Amino acid sequence: MSDKDQDRELVMGREITRRDFLNGVSIAVGTSLVAANSTWLEAFGSPQSPFAPEKDRSYYPPAKTGLRGSHDGSWEVAHDLRDGKDKGWAQSVDDGESYDLVVVGAGISGLAAAHFYRKFAGQQSKILVLDNHDDFGGHAKRNEFKAGNRVLLGYGGTQSIEAPGNYSKESMGLLKELGIDVRRFFKYYDQKLFDSMHLQEAVFFDKETFGADRLVPQKGLHYFGLNFAMENVSRIPIAEAARKDLLRLQHASVDYMPDLTPEQKKSKLIKTSYKDFLLQYAKVHPDVVKVFQSSTHDLYAVGIDAVSAADCAMEGFPGFKGMRLPKSHEENAELDEPYIFHFPDGNSSIARMLVRSLVPGALPGHTMEDIVTARANYARLDDANSPIRIRLNSTAVRAKHIGDSDLKTAKEVEVIYVRGGQAHRIRTAHCILACYNMVIPYLCPEMPDKQKEALAYSVKMPLVYTNVQIRNWKAFQKLGISSIYAPGAYFSNVTLDFPVSMGDYHYPSSSDESCLLHLLRTPCEPGLNCKDQYRAGRWELVNTKFETFERQVRDQLGRALGAGGFDPARDIQAITVNRWPHGYAYEYNELFEPSDQPESERPCVIGRQPFGRIKIANSDADGHAYTNTAIDQGYRAVREIVQA
C-alpha cells in the first residue's frame, strides 16, 4: 500500500484539533523557522518586536496541540549559540534591570532554586527566572484537551512523584511547604478501577516485525520482567523453538554461568547486555530477543542491546532463577511504594504550585487539589511589581562575571538573553544555571576546560510522549485491556491515562467518555552504544514532521484496537506530540562505562562545581532523571551561594 493510499485509509485529511502547532515543517538543525512560518509570527510577533506574547489574554500554552515539548521557537537560538552564529547579540539592549538572583531555566530545578533562595535571602529578594520555552515547567509539561464542557489533562513529560519514601528531607520538605501530602494519592488514584472492569495488559505483535498483527492479552504483564502465561505463549507469532525457549527462560531454574562465583557472575552480567545474555548464555532463539527488545525503552530509552543483564536481573526479567546472584541493596527498592503518586498533569502540578508560591496572582487557590484545575494567568508571570519574575520565550546566550577577572572578587554577573530576535542584558549578584548541562560551556566559555568537558559528557535521552484524545474507550473495554506493550511498533507503549480524580477533576471512568491515551516512543538505533543511540534518536526527532507522528498514531491504534471496534478516523479527536530531542538526564550506563568510578570523578560532579558567582542546578548535575534529584540540585546550588 502506498503512503497516499494509507493516508486515505487512515483519513489523514480529517480535521482534528490542531491549535497553534507548526504542521509539516522539517526542522533540520540550524534552520531558522521564524521568517518562514506565519503561525510563529501570529503567536509570538515579529522577530524584532518587543511584543510579549504572554501579555495577550489568549496566550495559553497548555491548550496547544500538535508538536510540543521542545517546540519550534524554543531551540533555534541555542543551536545558533552552539554553532557560533552570533546574530547581533553583542549589541544587546541594556534592560536596566538588576537582580539578586537570575535563574536560567524554569523547570522544576530552576523553580525550586528560586524557592530555596527566597527562603534563605528573604521575601523581598529580587529574582528573575528565564526560560526558552513558551511555558514554564521544563519537562514537567501540562497538556489540556477539551471534551465538551470538560477539560482532560495529560502529562507531556515528568510523570509522577516516584518512591517519595526515598526523597531527601529537602525535597520532601519542599513538597510539604507547597501543600503536597503524598498520602492523599491513595484516595485519589483508583488502583482498583481497571481490575474491577476486568482490564489487563496486552502485547501487540506487529506484522512488520513478527509476520502477523496479533494482540495477546496477558494478566499481570509488566513492561519490565515480561512474563507470559503458558496458554498465551502459543499465541505469540514466533517460531515454535522460540516459544519453548521463552517458557524455559521464564520457568526453568538454570544456572547459565555455572563456573563462576556469584560475585563473578554479577561482574560479568554488568558488562553483558541482556540481548547477549539471551543469545550467548541462555542460547534462546533470536525471536525471543524480538519479544523483549523494546521492553526497556520506558526506563532506559534504549533496547535490551544497550542495557546490562545485571540491570535486567534487578528489574525482574526472566532467565535468572537459577543464577544465585548476590542481592543488591538497590534491588526492588521502590517496590514497597506503589506507582500512584501522580497528578492528572504529572509533575506539572508541582511546577505550577511553585509558580503559585513564587509569583502572586499567577495561579489561584492554595491546595494540592485546586491546583489541578487552576488556570494560570501568564500575564502575571513577568510583573515589574513582583519581586520574583518569570520571563518565557527568552533564551540565555551568555553568563559572564563583570569587571575583575578574578572570580573571587567579582561582584556581579551579566546575563544576555534573546527574546523575539532581540538580545537583552541584565545584571545580577548571583546566577544559577538550571538549564541543560551541555549548553553551559557555550554560556560560560571562560570555564576551565576540564569542567566544560565534564558538562558536555552527558547525552540526554531523547523521547516522545504523545497524548491522544479519543472519543471513548469502548474498544479497550471490549478487548479487556488497559495498556499495550508493542515490541516492534513505532510506539513501544500505549496506555489508558492514570485513573486519578482529585479536587474538581474527575477521571473519565466510564468507557463511554472521552479520555486520553499516552503513547511512548524512544527513538534509538540498536547496535550502537547508548550515547550514540541517543544522538541518532535526537537527529531523527528534529527531522520528523508532525504528519509522520499522526500517521503512525492512526495506523498503530487502528491495527492494535481494530478488533474492539476502534476507528482512527472516527475516534481520534486530538493529538499532542511532546517531542524531547534532549529528554531526560543521562544516567550512567555501566555496560559502557566504568562501574567502580569514585563519586568525586563522576563527570556530573566535576561539571557542577561552582564557577564564581555562577552555580549549576539541574537533574543532569546528579545524573538521575527524577524530580527529587532536580529539587535536591536546586537546593545544593543555593546552599553554595549562601555558604560562599
φ, ψ at 520 (rounded to 5°): -110, 130
- Over residues 510-527, the pLDDT tens digits come to 999 999 999 999 999 999
Inside any domain, residue 250: yes
Per-residue confidence (pLDDT) for residue 122, from 0 to 100: 93
Per-residue confidence (pLDDT) for residue 226, from 0 to 100: 83
- DSSP tag of 133: S
Per-residue confidence (pLDDT) for residue 5, from 0 to 100: 61
Give the number of domains in the chain: 1
Above pLDDT 90, what percent of the chain? 83
Could you tell me the residue range of the domain that residue 277 belongs to? Answer: 224-337
Q: Report the pLDDT averaged over residues 195-205.
A: 96
Helix (H) or strand (E) holding 172: helix 169-178
Inside any domain, residue 153: no
Cβ atoms 363, 371 nearer than 8 A: yes
DSSP notation for 422-452: EEEEEEEEEEEE-S-GGGHHHH-TTS-HHHH
Q: Report the pLDDT averaged over residues 118-138.
A: 97
- Over residues 532-588, the pLDDT tens digits come to 999 999 999 999 999 999 999 999 999 999 999 999 999 999 999 999 999 999 999
Per-residue confidence (pLDDT) for residue 341, from 0 to 100: 97
Q: Report the pLDDT averaged over residues 68-87.
A: 93
Inside any domain, residue 109: no
Q: Report the pLDDT averaged over residues 305-319.
A: 95
CA distance 427 to 385: 18
Instruction: Report residue 97 as a C-alpha cell.
Output: 534591570
The residue length of the chain stands at 644
Least confident of 33-47, 249-263, 439-453, 495-509: 33-47
φ, ψ at 73 (rounded to 5°): 105, -15
Inside any domain, residue 266: yes
Q: Nearest Cα to 130, choosing from 437, 432, 438?
A: 432
Q: Report the pLDDT averaged over residues 258-262.
A: 95
Mean pLDDT over the full length of the chain: 90
Instruction: Compute the chain's Rg from CA coordinates.
Output: 25
CA distance 265 to 555: 43
Inside any domain, residue 603: no
CA distance 616 to 638: 9
Q: Nearest Cα to 301, choosing from 459, 429, 167?
A: 459
DSSP notation for 561-584: HGGGT--HHHHEEEEEEEEEEEEE
Instruction: Give the list of residues 6+ apart from residue 564 with CB closer than 8 angstroms, or none.
Output: 474, 475, 476, 477, 478, 479
Inside any domain, residue 202: no
Inside any domain, residue 583: no
Inside any domain, residue 281: yes
- Over residues 362-371, the pLDDT tens digits come to 999 999 999 9
Per-residue confidence (pLDDT) for residue 2, from 0 to 100: 57
Above pLDDT 70, what percent of the chain? 90
- Over residues 279-292, the pLDDT tens digits come to 999 999 999 999 99
